Amino acid sequence: MKTIANPLRRNVAIIAHVDHGKTTLVDALLHQSGMFRANERVAERAMDNTDLERERGITILAKNTAVNYGDILINIVDTPGHADFGGEVERVLAMVDGVLLLVDASEGPLPQTRFVLRKALERRMTPIVVINKIDRPDARIQEVLNEVFDLFIDLDAVEEQLDFAILYTSARAGTATTSMDTPGVDLRPLFDAIVESVPPPRGDPAAPLQMLVANLDSSDYLGRIAIGRIFSGQVRIGDQISVCKLDGTFQDTRVTKLFAFEGLKRIDITAAAAGDIVCLAGIEDITIGETITDVEHRRAINPIAIDEPTVSMIFGVNTSPMAGRDGQYVTSRQIKDRLERELLGNVSIRVEPTDTPEQMKVLGRGELQLSILIEMMRREGFELQVSRPDIVTKDLNGKLMEPIEDLIIDVAEEFQGVVIAAVGMRRGTMTKMVNHGSGRVRLEFRIPARGLIGLRSQILTDTKGTGIINHLFAGWEPWHGAIASRATGALVADRAGGATAFAIWNLQERGEIFIEPTAPVYEGMIIGENARAADMDVNVTKEKKQTNMRSSGADEAVRLIPPRKRGLEQAIEWINDDELVEVTPHNIRIRKRILAANMRPKRNAEL
Ligand X SMILES: Nc1nc2c(ncn2[C@@H]2O[C@H](COP(=O)(O)OP(=O)(O)OP(=O)(O)O)[C@@H](O)[C@H]2O)c(=O)[nH]1
| Interface residue list for ligand X (CB under 6 A) | 16, 18-24, 45, 57-59, 80-82, 132-133, 135-136, 170-172
- Least separation in angstroms between CB 16 and ligand X: 5
Q: Counting contacts by CB under 5 A, is residue 22 touching Mg ion?
A: yes
Choose between 23 and 113: whose C-beta lies nearer to Mg ion. Answer: 23
Comparing CA positions, the residue from 135, 139, 138, 134 lying closest to residue 166 is 134
Contact assessment for residue 372 and residue 364, using Cβ atoms and an 8 Å cutoff: no
- 170 vs 310, beta carbon nearer ligand X: 170
What Cα–Cα distance (Å) separates residue 373 from each residue in 57, 283, 528? 16, 25, 26
How far is Cα 355 from Cα 352, in angstroms, rounded to an integer?
10
Backbone region of residue 174 per phi and psi (left: phi > 0; alpha: psi in -120 to 50; beta: other values): left
Which residue, 88 or 523, is less far from Mg ion as judged by CB? 88
Question: Residue 32 Cβ, how far from ligand X at the closest point, in Å?
Answer: 14
Measured from the CB of residue 171, what is the shortest distance to Mg ion in angstroms? 10
Would you give the end-to-end CA distance of the chain in angstroms?
66
Fill in the per-residue mask, 42 to 61: x = in contact with Mg ion (CB under 5 A), - = not in contact. Answer: -----------------x--
Rounded to the nearest whole angstrom, what is the least distance from the CB of residue 141 to ligand X in the complex? 12
Range in contact with Mg ion (rule: CB under 5 A) among 20-28, 84-92, 377-385, 577-585: 20-28
Integer Cα distance of 536 and 492 in angstroms: 6
Q: Can residue 133 be called a binding residue for Mg ion (CB under 5 A)? A: no
Three-state secondary structure call for residue 340: helix
- How many residues touch Mg ion under the rule CB under 5 A: the total is 3
Helix (H) / strand (E) containing 102: strand 98-104
Q: Helices H, strands E: what count in the chain?
A: 14, 35
Residue nearest to ligand X (CB): 81
Distance CA 370, CA 162 (A): 37
Q: Which stretch binds Mg ion (CB under 5 A): 15-23, 166-174, 412-420, 545-553?
A: 15-23
Q: Taking the complex as a whole, how short is the minimal distance between the CB of residue 177 and ligand X, in angstroms?
A: 13
Smallest gap from Cβ 338 to ligand X, in A, equals: 25
- Partner in contact with 132, chosen from ligand X, Mg ion, none, beta carbon below 5 to 8 Å by kind: ligand X
Minimum distance from CB of 47 to Mg ion (Å)?
7
Q: How far is the CB of 448 from ligand X (least distance, A)?
A: 26
Q: Please, what is the minimum distance in Å from the beta carbon of residue 105 to ligand X?
A: 8
Q: Per CB under 5 A, does 23 bind Mg ion?
A: yes
Looking at the Cβ atoms of 61 and 230, the one nearer to ligand X is: 61
Distances (CA, A) of 109 to 52, 135, 334: 26, 17, 43
**CA dist., res. 284 & res. 225, Å (int):** 9
Q: Residue 203 gets which letter from DSSP?
A: -
Specify whether the CB–CB gap between 498 and 543 falls below 8 A: no
170 binds, among Mg ion, ligand X, none (CB under 5 to 8 A by kind): ligand X
Question: Which of Mg ion, ligand X, none interacts with 21 (beta carbon under 5 to 8 A by kind)?
Answer: ligand X
Q: Please give the residues from 57 up to 96 whose contact with Mg ion meets the rule CB under 5 A.
A: 59
Q: State the nearest-atom distance from the C-beta of 451 to ligand X, in Å.
A: 24
Residue 88 or 406: which CB sits closer to ligand X? 88
Q: Nearest approach, Cβ of 262 to Mg ion (angstroms)?
A: 20
Cα separation of 242 and 240, whole Å? 7
User: Which secondary-structure segment (H or E) carries 389?
Assistant: none
Q: Which range touches Mg ion (CB under 5 A), out of 17-25, 107-115, 282-290, 383-391? A: 17-25
Report the alpha-carbon distance of residue 352 to residue 335 in Å, rounded.
13
- When CB distances are held under 5 to 8 angstroms depending on the partner's kind, the choice from ligand X, Mg ion, none that residue 316 binds is none
Give 28 or 335: the residue with its C-beta nearer to ligand X.
28
DSSP 213-228: EEEEEEETTTEEEEEE
Closer residue to Mg ion, CB minimum distance, 4 or 173: 173
d(CA 22, CA 37): 22
Cβ atoms within 10 Å, residue 222: 16
Q: Is 488 left (phi over 0), alpha (psi -120 to 50) or beta?
A: beta
Q: CB of 172: closest distance to ligand X in angstroms?
A: 4
> Between 136 and 336, whose beta carbon lies closer to ligand X?
136
Q: Is 117 helix (H, G, I), strand (E, B) or coil?
A: helix
Three-state DSSP state, 183: coil
d(CA 125, CA 374): 35
Whichever of 170 and 232 has its CB closer to ligand X, that residue is 170
Taking the least distance from each CB to ligand X, the nearer of 45 and 446 is: 45
> Which residues contact residue 223 at a Cβ distance below 8 angstroms, ignoring those fewer than 6 apart?
281, 282, 284
Q: Which is nearer to Mg ion, 78 or 97 (CB)?
A: 78
Of 120 and 212, which has the nearer Cβ to ligand X?
Answer: 120
Contact 8, 72 (CB under 8 A): yes
Footprint on this chain of Mg ion (rule: CB under 5 A): 22-23, 59
